[in-house]
Every structure is written in structure tokens, then in C-alpha cells.
A and B are shown apart, each in its own frame.
Chain A
Amino acid sequence: MESPILRDGRLPAAFLTPGSSSFTQFLHGLAPEMLPAGRSLPAGGTIDTPHATTIVAATFPGGVVMAGDRRATMGNVIAQRDIEKVFPADEYSAVGIAGTAGLAVEVVRLFQVELEHYEKIEGASLSLDGKANRLATLIRGNLGMAMQGLAVVPLFAGWDLEQQFGRIFSYDVTGGRYEEHAFHAVGSGAMFARGALKKLYGPELTEEQAVSAVVESLYDAADDDSATGGPDLARRIFPVVAVVGPEGYRRMPDAEIGSLVERVVAARLARPDGPSAVPLP
């Protein structure tokens, strides 16, 4: 582990100083240039960067499911067909990202280290609210970049180990943190995904039904939003779907999602607008 941090091989005083159990705070004192916060862009001018799009999440009695499409766009161009935008934040929570892909991935990496670091130093995990608040602080640190057009908007979901149910948190670019009930979506296709989920969601869904509802809603988002990618049957690229419950974070295997997507697409061949809700009598 030869490292620029370790001069003559030994641990510098900063490592041995008792203090914060936050990795971000530690890094801020040691090497602030490594943190996404505090960076600034030269004034004026804009740059084209890949943008990540739609993330949806929905709770069900045994946990919460989060899914993201696989497209990143740069203006009118598809920058990547198989980007992954849903990640495990720790063993009991998931984070999905929309916005500037490069910065968002960096924020997720920092957030993952932050949670694990706290857990190791303190010997106990943060509460789910604590995790959600830490993410808010990281997003707030990116406000300067957001004002210059490089926004990062995450969606956070996890299993609350104390209260034993799944919860969803949404954010704005200023670090505002809002708890969402039942379901939520972020990103350019969110409007359409949320509209679809509104008609498909019910509080008593099983895990399987919840997964199927979020996949349908991503299909609807891709149907109306050009920046959201639909399922790519030719290349076998399917949405990333993660389920978080009392057993922890689990990413659903591509084979399972693949067969679900095939059923959804087959049903859409008969009825392109998808399942219909029953009107009130």
C-alpha cells in the first residue's frame, strides 16, 4: 500500500487523532480536494456530460423495491445503454441516482464509505434516518455545482431495522430531505413513472407484485420520455431492480428480471398502454 498519504510508511498524526467517526470529515481535514464538495467550476460556460435518468421505488409490507432504467444521455445522444444507477448504500439500504452521472457516482461511492466507516468505528450502524440525513449533507455539498447545471438528485430507500418496515426518502439539490410514503420516482421520466405507479400501486402488494409494478412504471416512463431507456430485448439489457427487506439488500438476478420484462413486453403487444385501472363505478 505505497501511498502519497503515507510519508516514510507510517501513519500521519491525523490518522491517530481521536475524533469524528465520519469519513467525510476525516477526509475534509486530510485531503479536501478528494471530496466532491468544495470543488468549483470556472464561471460561465456549460459542459455536456452524461445524465442519468429515471429511478423508481415502492414499498410493500416486507420491504422496499427500487429500480432504475439503464440509459445515460448527453443531449440528444445516448451516452451509455447499460449504465447502473441503483446501488447498495450498505447492507440494509439502496440508493439510486438521477442527474449528472459522474458526480452522482462519486457521491454514491462516498456515501457507501461514509456508512461503512461509521459502522466500523462505532461498532453499530446508523439509524435509517441517520443515513438519510448523511446523504442530505453530501447532496447539499454539491449545491454550487448544481447551480451551474450539474445537479445530482438521489433516491434513498431502506429497511428500518428498529421499526421493521421499508421507507423511501427523496431529495432536492439543496439537500432537502423528504420522506415519501408508498412510492416515488426521480429523474426525467419520473412524472410518467409516478403516474403509472399511482394506478398500479396498492398498500398490500407482495414483493413480486411490487417488482412487477416498478418495471411496468419504467416501461411507461421510457414510452414517453426519450431520456429513459426501455427494456432492450435484443441486447438483453434490463432495468436494475433491488429489493431491501429484513434480510438486507438483494439485487434481483438478470435472468429473473429478463423473464418478467418479456412478460411485460408480450402484454404490451396486445395492449401498448399497459394494464388498465378499473374506473370508479
Chain B
Amino acid sequence: MSIPFYVSPEQIMKDKADYARKGIARGRSVVVVQYADGILFVAENPSRALHKVSEIYDRIAFAAVGKYNEFENLRVAGVRLADLRGYSYDRRDVTGRGLANAYAQTLGTIFTETSKPYEVEIVVAEVGEGPADDQMYRLTFDGSVADEHGFVAMGGQADQIAQALAEGYADGLALPAALRLAVHTLATMGAPPGAPEGRELGAGLLEVAVLDRSRPLPRKFRRIAGDRLTGLLAGHESPPDDDGGH
């Protein structure tokens, strides 16, 4: 029988973290930006079916980068938790903070107790009555949580994207301005190595959704696609129509 090599706990954790970071950095990026009437999610994602941004509950949405099967697992768990909470208590008792806590505990346990950590990074965002009540929690693969304000970038070139967003961001942007900022930043800073200079991201390559506090119905999450997205990208302020984007 062979004696296993001794590996220090620090080294084990570092290896796991490096492994997870590498996996996350391979993927395309997602940005989350606060605007005057809510929170905007933009992902570079050519797929119409495999979403990186999704609805969790009335005012809560989820955005993720990394390994699809792993964040999909977390998304479904979040929907189940939120619906169970809302069913057992009341719709108002489902909060983004509670959900972020459950995710943090879960990711933390997976990171320390299993040999393979989740290669994911997620944002749980909750739109409030006014911009000051909006909440954005960023969770990383090891279960750490950060309370973010203004904007968040995750994925491949997250640091460069965040830097560029910081330059263009201001409180109280209108939706078209926030969208153009996010898309422009993703197109320039989020370009994969070897991509042509000055590339553009058209409506077909984007997944866009909002938590719109001005929506009169309880569920504030809407996807923006098709003509409405093209119109917004071109700078037209379109009426707050419900184009059935679930």
C-alpha cells in the first residue's frame, strides 16, 4: 500500500480556487447595471434557449457565468426555494438577501467539502421601490458574497469590463443609455483574444433582460428581444410594452 503524499490545506484550497477561476474565465461575460427604472442584465449569448439570465421571483433575478449545468442547477434550486417560501408564507417574504445567503452557504459547502468546486459566479439582484432600495449580490465559487452598487461584471475579462463600466456609469441612466453602455463595453472589453478590433454585438448575439420596477404587475422580470431590443440599441425609447418575453 502506497502512502499518499501530504498536501497542505492551503495548497488544496489554492488549487481548487485556481481551477474554478480558470473555468469561469473561459466563458463570455455578463454585466448587470442599475438604471433609473430598475436593473438591466446583458449577456453575450447567441443561444435563445440556454439562458444566463433568468427570473427567480417577483422582484428577483439571477445572472450567471461559468459552467452551464452547475449554474442551471443553482438557478432551479433558487426558483424552488423562492416558490416554496412564497407558498408557505407570503410573496413579500421572499427576499434577495435570503436567497443570496442560501446560495452562499451552498457554494461554500460545495467548495470545501467536495474535490471539484463549482465553476460559477452569480449575481442575485432584487429591484426595490426606488433606486436606493435596489440590491445586487455577487457570489463567487467559494461562497463569498459581495454587496454591489451600480454595476457588476462577471466572466472572462471581468476586471477590464468593470473598469470600462466605471468610466461610463452614472446613477439614474435611462434604459437605452444603460443598454448601450453595457453592450459597448461587452463588445470592446469582453472580446475574446484574437477578435477583430472594434467588433460589434448585434441583437442576435445578446441576451437582455430587465427587472423593471415600473411594470404594474407583481412580476417585474422581462426579457427584451427582437424588435424592441433592436430599437433600444438604435437609441429609441420604446414604450414599456409587454412583448411576452418569458
Within 8 A of B (CB), among A1-55: 1, 3, 5-6, 8-11, 15-16, 18, 23, 26-27, 30, 34
Q: Are B86 and A15 neighbours in the complex by a CB distance under 8 Å?
A: no
Contact of A18 among B73, B93, B99, B101 (CB under 8 A): B73
* Nearest CB on A from B108, distance (A): 8
Given A120-B54, A121-B79, residue A113 in contact with residue B86 (CB < 8 A):
yes
Confirm or deny: A124 has a beta carbon within 8 angstroms of a beta carbon on chain B.
yes
Q: Are A125 and B99 neighbours in the complex by a CB distance under 8 Å?
A: no
Size range of the interface on A? 20 to 34
Q: Are B106 and A1 neighbours in the complex by a CB distance under 8 Å?
A: no
Confirm or deny: A84 has a beta carbon within 8 angstroms of a beta carbon on chain B.
no
Q: Are A113 and B87 neighbours in the complex by a CB distance under 8 Å?
A: yes
Chain A residues near B87: list those with CB within 8 A.
Answer: 23, 27, 34, 109-110, 113
Contact of B95 among A1, A30, A121, A124 (CB under 8 A): A1
Chain A residues near B86: list those with CB within 8 A.
Answer: 113
Of all chain B residues, the one with the shortest Cβ separation from A15 is: B77
Q: Are B88 and A34 neighbours in the complex by a CB distance under 8 Å?
A: yes
Q: Are A124 and B246 neighbours in the complex by a CB distance under 8 Å?
A: yes
Chain B: residues with CB nearer than 8 A to chain A? Answer: 49, 51, 54-56, 73-74, 76-77, 79-81, 83-88, 93-95, 97-99, 101-103, 105-106, 108-109, 217, 219, 242, 244, 246
Chain A residues near B105: list those with CB within 8 A.
Answer: 6, 8-11
Of all chain A residues, the one with the shortest Cβ separation from B86 is: A113
Q: Are A26 and B95 neighbours in the complex by a CB distance under 8 Å?
A: no
Chain B residues near A8: list those with CB within 8 A.
Answer: 105
Report how far A26 CA is from B80 CA in the complex, Å.
8
Q: Are A10 and B102 neighbours in the complex by a CB distance under 8 Å?
A: yes
Of all chain B residues, the one with the shortest Cβ separation from A21 is: B76
Q: Are B77 and A16 neighbours in the complex by a CB distance under 8 Å?
A: yes
Interface of B: prevailing SS: helix
Q: Are B83 and A117 neighbours in the complex by a CB distance under 8 Å?
A: yes
Chain B residues near A26: list those with CB within 8 A.
Answer: 80, 84
Chain B residues near A121: list those with CB within 8 A.
Answer: 76, 79
Report how far A10 CA is from B100 CA in the complex, Å.
10
Chain A residues near B83: list those with CB within 8 A.
Answer: 23, 113, 116-117, 120
Report how far A123 CA is from B74 CA in the complex, Å.
15
Contact of B84 among A5, A116, A120, A124 (CB under 8 A): A5
Top 4 A-B residue pairs of the complex, sorted by shortest distance between their CB atoms: A1-B98, A10-B105, A15-B77, A9-B105
Chain B residues near A16: list those with CB within 8 A.
Answer: 73-74, 76-77, 106
Q: Are B246 and A11 neighbours in the complex by a CB distance under 8 Å?
A: no
Of all chain B residues, the one with the shortest Cβ separation from A110 is: B87
Of all chain A residues, the one with the shortest Cβ separation from B108 is: A10
Report how far A3 CA is from B106 CA in the complex, Å.
15
Confirm or deny: A119 has a beta carbon within 8 angstroms of a beta carbon on chain B.
yes
Given A1-B94, A1-B95, A119-B246, residue A9 in contact with residue B76 (CB < 8 A):
no
Given A91-B217, A120-B56, A123-B49, residue A11 in contact with residue B106 (CB < 8 A):
yes
Report how far A110 CA is from B87 CA in the complex, Å.
7
Chain A residues near B109: list those with CB within 8 A.
Answer: 10
Contact of A11 among B56, B81, B88 (CB under 8 A): B81
Q: Are A9 and B246 neighbours in the complex by a CB distance under 8 Å?
A: no
Report how far A3 CA is from B85 CA in the complex, Å.
8
Chain A residues near B101: list those with CB within 8 A.
Answer: 1, 9
**A23-B80, A26-B84 known; 10 other A-B pairs, CB under 8 Å?**
A1-B98, A8-B105, A9-B102, A10-B102, A10-B109, A11-B77, A18-B76, A26-B80, A121-B76, A123-B246
Report how far A16 CA is from B70 CA in the complex, Å.
9
Chain A residues near B79: list those with CB within 8 A.
Answer: 117, 120-121
Given A123-B51, A125-B246, residue A6 in contact with residue B102 (CB < 8 A):
yes
* Nearest CB on A from B216, distance (A): 10
Report how far A3 CA is from B102 CA in the complex, Å.
10
* Nearest CB on A from B106, distance (A): 4
- 7 sample A-B contacts, Cβ–Cβ < 8 Å, listed by A number: A1-B93, A1-B97, A16-B73, A34-B88, A91-B217, A121-B76, A123-B54
